[in-house]
Amino acid sequence: MLSLRLPWSGRRAERVRRASSPAIPTQAVDGAMLWVVAALILTGVVMVYSASIALPDSPRFASYKPTHFLLRHVISLSIALAFGLVLFTVPMRRWQALSPWLFLAGIVLLIAVLIPGVGKTVYGARRWLSLFVINLQPSELMKLFVVLYVADYTVRKQDYMQQFRKGFLPMGFVVSLIGVLLLLEPDLGAFVVISAIAMGLLFLGGVNGRLFASLVVIALSTFATIIWASSWRSERIFAYLNPFAPENALGKGYQLSHALIAFGRGQITGVGLGGSVEKLHYLPEAHTDFLLAVIGEELGLVAVLALIAAFFWITRRAFLIGRQAIAMERTYAGLVAKGVGLWIGLQAFINMGVNLGLLPTKGLTLPLMSFGGTGLLVNCAAIALLLRVDFENRRLMRGSA
């Protein structure tokens, strides 16, 4: 009777089992994934405290206690973990049904943040909605909503993915709309990540090769035009190419030059936990965008390589979970898993590239580790969805549909 409940049988079942895994898993959830994510989160807690402990010495944060950012980080993390636990209980079919509405809600939030008096402006950028207790960043939420929506769009439009008008054009319009709203904040970093997620999922979903190549050319041309048309963005590019030039070291290349100094001080094993000099008001945003530089200074090259390996492992594991789901004809769930892998891997790559001087400076946090309430919330939500896809895969492989 067990075989009657399976969505496949016979030779087809054997092919799926061989393509998915060498043996039926016995664990309900991916224990290795939980351990790796937990290690990143706990390391982030320690390093956020280390990077922010000296901030109250500056006039701007003089009224704060040394543990102010640590407590806020732990509170945000507790909410994010509880939220992720709740999301894990929601079946993927429900997420597919909700994805268009969540995406529409994300668009509304991106519009709301631009309304004077509604959106909160920090450092000249209007990216936050004040909810009194916490600040909500819609661009971070949109990363999650785009993963869910583009996966659903790809499944619904599977028969038209080779066509320009019905397959490519609607998604191109949607991504352009998001881009306009994000650039008005402005938040080019989030636009880059969201565009890459959408393009990557369209490619994985089987979009026509010529259309995809055209999309890449259009995207690169658009980003180049945006940078060329904005003088301060152009200055950042030139500063990134030579951050230690006198005109850059005290200007647009200030953060990058001090990040590189931090890595240079750390060398192989670091100067020791808490021993960073650059976090003492030399390196701005040390507990957010440039957390990796503090890690490199205090814990050295060894810790940086370990973090690179951890994020690579999560990305690779997400793609394996997605491939397993697609082999079981769960295309939406598989694309969501791969979308999460694209998102986490790309954002980690950009953040690390910026810190190491491989990429121009952009305001993107290190996933699961940097200080930031909304960022932690959506990162934990993404991991919860990834674990949910894997959980449903394991149930099906054990024959309990």
- Per-residue pLDDT of 23-56, as tens digits, reads 445 578 889 999 999 999 999 999 999 999 999 9
Q: What does the pLDDT average to over 141-158? A: 92
Helical (H) or strand (E) element with 136: strand 135-136
Q: Phi/psi of residue 245, each to 5°?
A: -65, 145
Show Cβ contacts of residue 106 under 8 Å, excluding neighbours closer than 6 positions: 138, 141, 142, 145, 146
H helices present in 280-357, as ranges: 291-327, 331-355
Q: Mean pLDDT, the chain, as a whole number? A: 86
- Using CA atoms, how far apart are residues 131 and 56, in angstroms rounded to an integer? 24
- Using CA atoms, how far apart are residues 147 and 199, in angstroms rounded to an integer? 11
DSSP state of 279: T
Tell whether the model's pLDDT for residue 13 goes beyond 50: no
Q: Strand, coil or helix: what is 267?
A: coil
- Using CA atoms, how far apart are residues 147 and 95, in angstroms rounded to an integer? 11
Is-cis flag, bond preceding 138, omega within 30? no
CB 313 within 8 A of CB 305: no
> What global pTM score does this model have?
0.88
- Using CA atoms, how far apart are residues 142 and 231, in angstroms rounded to an integer? 27
- Using CA atoms, how far apart are residues 93 and 99, in angstroms rounded to an integer? 10
Q: What does the pLDDT average to over 225-238? A: 71
The 10s digit of each residue's pLDDT in 167-215 is 777 888 888 889 888 888 888 888 889 989 988 888 888 776 777 777 7
Give every strand in the sheet of 119-122, ordered side by side: 119-122, 125-130, 135-136
Which amino acid does the sequence have at 43? T
User: What are the CB-based long-range contacts (under 8 Å, 24+) for 165-168?
Assistant: 167/207, 167/208, 167/211, 168/202, 168/207, 168/208, 168/211, 168/215
Q: Which of 131-140, 221-230, 356-365, 385-394 has the highest mean pLDDT?
A: 385-394
